[in-house]
């Protein structure tokens, strides 16, 4: 059975303090690994899709990387507006369903 484990569950950073969020996964035939941002009471907002080990993608202060067992979301010099829950999800080769992890709740304080 597929497993997606995100760590830490919660992370508090000072503004400007860079860090990384981890997503470990076990999946039978990975098609893609997705990162989303979710604000309270809102729907997930798409950030990145990674398809193969070694792939990296960047968007503003965020950079996502992928290995065969895990993905990292690096946040460089975060700002308070980066505060949100970050979700990782995997998609199998055999279908289109996204299997989500529980997320990492990030709080960035001024």
Partner 1 sequence: EPEVTQTPSHQVTQMGQEVILRCVPISNHLYFYWYRQILGQKVEFLVSFYNNEISEKSEIFDDQFSVERPDGSNFTLKIRSTKLEDSAMYFCASSASGSRNEQFFGPGTRLTVL
State the residues that interact with partner 1 by CB under 8 A.
Answer: 31-32, 34, 36, 41-46, 49, 51, 87, 89, 95-103
**Cβ of residue 41: shortest distance to partner 1, in angstroms?**
8
> Which residue matches tokens 């193969």?
52
Per DSSP (E only), the strands in the chain are 3-7, 10-14, 19-26, 30-38, 45-50, 56-59, 62-66, 70-75, 84-92, 98-100, 104-109
**Cβ of residue 106: shortest distance to partner 1, in angstroms?**
16
**Cβ of residue 81: shortest distance to partner 1, in angstroms?**
19
Question: Cα 80 vs. chain centroid, distance in angstroms?
Answer: 18
């Amino acid at each position: 059975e597929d497993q997606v484990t995100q760590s830490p569950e919660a992370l508090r950073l000072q503004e400007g303090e860079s860090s990384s969020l981890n997503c470990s996964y076990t999946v039978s035939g990975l098609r893609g690994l997705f990162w989303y941002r979710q604000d309270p009471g809102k729907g997930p907002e798409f950030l990145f899709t990674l398809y193969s080990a070694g792939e990296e993608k960047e968007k503003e202060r965020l950079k996502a990387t992928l290995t065969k067992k895990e993905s990292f979301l690096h946040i460089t010099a975060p700002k308070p507006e980066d505060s949100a829950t970050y979700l990782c999800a995997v998609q199998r080769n055999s279908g289109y369903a996204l299997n989500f992890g529980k997320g990492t709740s990030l709080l960035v304080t001024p």
